[in-house]
Amino acid sequence: MTRVAIVGVGHSRFGKRTDVNVAELAFESIKGAVEDAGVDKKEIKNVVVGSAGGWYEESLPAVIVNEYAGLDSVGTMRVEAACASGSAAVKSAYNSILSGEGEVAMAVGVEKMTEVDTMTSVELIGRAGSYMWEFENYGMTFPAYYALYAVAHMNRFGTTEEDMSRVAVKAHHYGSMNPYAQFQKEITLEKALGSQVVSWPLKLYDACPLTDGSAAVILASEEVARKLTDTPVWIKGVGYSSDSANLSRRSDYVGLQASVEAGRRAYAMAKVAPEDVDVATCHDCFTIAELMAYEDLGFCRKGEGAKMIREGETEVGGRIPVNLDGGLKAKGHPIGATGVSMAVEITKQLRNEAGRRQAPIKNGVGLVHNVGGTGHYAYVTVLSRN
């Protein structure tokens, strides 16, 4: 079976982007990826666009995005897996090369979430759960969903509000070094702890923002990749799983089983273990989500996620640095773009191109963890320099 590598990456500035429409926003990252790969656009045979949609004006974004970027007559489609749409796009582009459809493919993630008012956004995101049962009957929104997990984790393992706030402080620290991040200012632990309660115990600084943004990666078969670059980043393993949309059917609320299963599958395919990972991006839509991800992905034992953040194990120089781009929390979370953005970050880390945010790379292994909903979908992608 042919190997597939990431050979080019591109990224837009994240934030409130009233200066562009969705096609122009996507083009920012496509242009960067094409230039980074040094590939002729005519060589790109498939373009997969990850976008949850519903926030912006285009209901058929894939064709609009490709046409504006000058990608004519390519095979294309839009994929949706809620907040994991970006990783689903990378997986689909990867599959297109494995299947022999072409030697070069591209995954683009894009979302423009600030074109609607906040309350409409809250409803759109709330619909990502079990809409008729949880949203209509009980008024559940996503802060409330993750507050449920936070309270369960606190009760069982002694996790504290301060532990979650430490995740926010770390995110803003690294976001301050990322020119693409929505939030580029550091915060103190006191500021995070003292921020407005959104859904107890989660506060304003425990939550990711609504964001506009795009990211793109170009993939190539081994033969083409070795011609294009001296630093290919190989897709070594992809694991994905799902869970019930109705939270009342979940067995517990201290982790996401879909993440556990997706991680197991990715590690098995890549023939690596959690301790081999040099650097990771984890889906931190809320700070409790990052702590649970440490545990679900095997970076520590269950219940020890808070210990990792307290002891600095997920900082640069720590055992497994996590979210050195600021994560969803500070970089921003344009839903369809997030998984692709994570792949961009890990590719740069493995190529030693992350500047002040650079993690020490010993094994040449990085990990992308991308969740849709509250574990409705989960994708784990293992990337490697070898």
Q: Which of 83, 208, 285, 300 is catalytic?
A: 83
d(CA 77, CA 71) in angstroms, rounded, equals 13
d(CA 155, CA 165) in angstroms, rounded, equals 17
d(CA 330, CA 100) in angstroms, rounded, equals 38
Provide the 10 A C-beta neighbour count for residue 65: 27
Question: Can the peptide bond before residue 201 be classed as cis, meaning omega within 30 degrees of 0?
Answer: yes
* Under 8 Å between Cβ of 297 and 252: no
Examine the residue annotation and report whether 300 is marked as an active-site residue of this protein.
no
Q: Which of 153, 283, 333, 376 is catalytic?
A: 333
Burial (Cβ within 10 Å: 0-12, 13-18, ≥19) of residue 263: buried
User: Look-up: residue for tokens 């504290």?
Assistant: 160
d(CA 87, CA 109) in angstroms, rounded, equals 9
Residues 209-246 as b/e (b if ≥16 CB within 10 A, e otherwise) read bbbbbbbbbbbbbeebbeebbeebbbbbbbbbbbbebe
CA dihedral 76, 80, 85, 89 (to 10 degrees): -20
Examine the residue annotation and report whether 83 is marked as an active-site residue of this protein.
yes
Closest CA to 292 of 188, 140, 150, 127: 150
d(CA 206, CA 143) in angstroms, rounded, equals 9
Q: Which amino acid is at 42?
A: K
As annotated, the active-site residues are: 83, 333
